[in-house]
Structure 1
């Protein structure tokens, strides 16, 4: 019998399987196709559609707990699974705030959580009244820079409104850098916080993560971790929560996004922490005591492998390991397409400059040869 049903067959579900093996948990996967990333490594697999209740029910059969590779399962289906005795973790009451940016902004504002100035907008006149420059975002479905438009002139908003999606406007924040505060939380409230990391973007996609965030004021790091714990507790999140943050030029933190699942900014923890985010996510949703989140070395750097000139990633591994023997490579079993996340590399060590250079070198060999 499956213990945990996982909805969505991407690389996050694939990496959950690594931890599930060690924990003795059996996963059942609802995958989009027979050869998607997670379907290659999870044998108990059903091909189906996460928007179809009967497919979700088939995946959840025999599973006490349901968790997710993404946030896109309709809330009414999650409530139906809960009513049938399959506990969705996180539950629909929490996941809503990762599914809908309008709901997220409304709830966080109500909680007094620091956020960028924002408003719902329906017309170009609304955007002009809000003030330019601004960032327009679809309330649902956006990721990795998709569904996001930077608007500096009124005509820049045309593409956003032609999408037909509900939009919010946010101020264009003058930020120093992007941070991520991650926590794991059990149903009873036990919480473990990971070190706050710096996330570096390229074209709206996470390019690399440095753990912990270099030169971060200890008081600000403590405030970011406490904020993540508060958000998880008040929203009743079970599993991993990533709170993506802006560190502003004047030394404040503002919440940018929420993700209620393992997150790209936590991939470093597989090789760099006592307990990876994937293991703690499964421990949390299965209501097992959480593992320590302490780093194993002073620095960990994770660099995403975004599809480039190299098509045979496995064939490139000898060159990678000859150049950087201590690099840890994680490939996702995906066809290489320009800019697509097809894997990541992590290097840990005592000297940040060396760790960063080696991680970039290893990833570069997988991207451009």
Structure 2
């Protein structure tokens, strides 16, 4: 089991540490509920240094990214971030990722912790033109500073005009006296905020500066428990739950980042699927009956016939009701469609809704 660089600090802060994606990670410090509300209403900091980062360099770096990813990275400009995914050869998804363009010949790819080795090997296997690749995952720490008070917190520590940064852009500059920090207007909570990439030698200094700057806003450290409820309220997919090696990206609603204006791995198969139409679809649903949907619970029609499966589910702290995502047969995918979640042989009523659950 790997540990993140600030592991001991999190233990000192009272975090409950759990195995996650091959790392020992803080799941909560106080309560999932308190931490969830801290991010939605104020500001919180997640240490997500388990994530993977690859740097691709050279005149053919963009060509490699275009080949292995489904989105069109040619539209990126210096300082722009793009959400994308790596399609596999079987119609599924190797991983979803972020693509950062530093300049025309240098990019950073940010991948899920559980897939670092798999993604590296996959991209390397398609690196036929000797693009320079460097796995910098062990050199960087990543802090997600999320919530409506994130701007005010970060602005105290940098000359970068944080409020002026557009969503999905980044700048490299000085933060809390540390040079070369990447400040990115991205996040996995839908609460607004930024992600901060810093070399691990300076990680504790940045962490402490963030908590000093955010003290007046009640800043809190946040664990993976609240991260999951926050992302689910916004309908963000989690790799391994809602998308995987065996799920179609088109069925998962990733058509918006699937650009057939260029060839990419298995693009012909996905294009044919788009033309023929999909048989099932990832939907969001809210519980009408009391109950909490959980991953792998069956989704049924009124007669109890299985029509799909829950991929993610929780009790929404904001809505105070059960919410979930799952794949269902296409005819049950329209908002307003009635579904039933099978919980211990009982059928609990739910309704398909348009995501995000929390606007």
TM-score by length of 1: 0.28
- Which structure has greater strand proportion? 2
TM-score, normalised relative to structure 2: 0.29
Structure with more relative contact order (C-alpha pairs < 8 Å, separation 6 or more) = 2
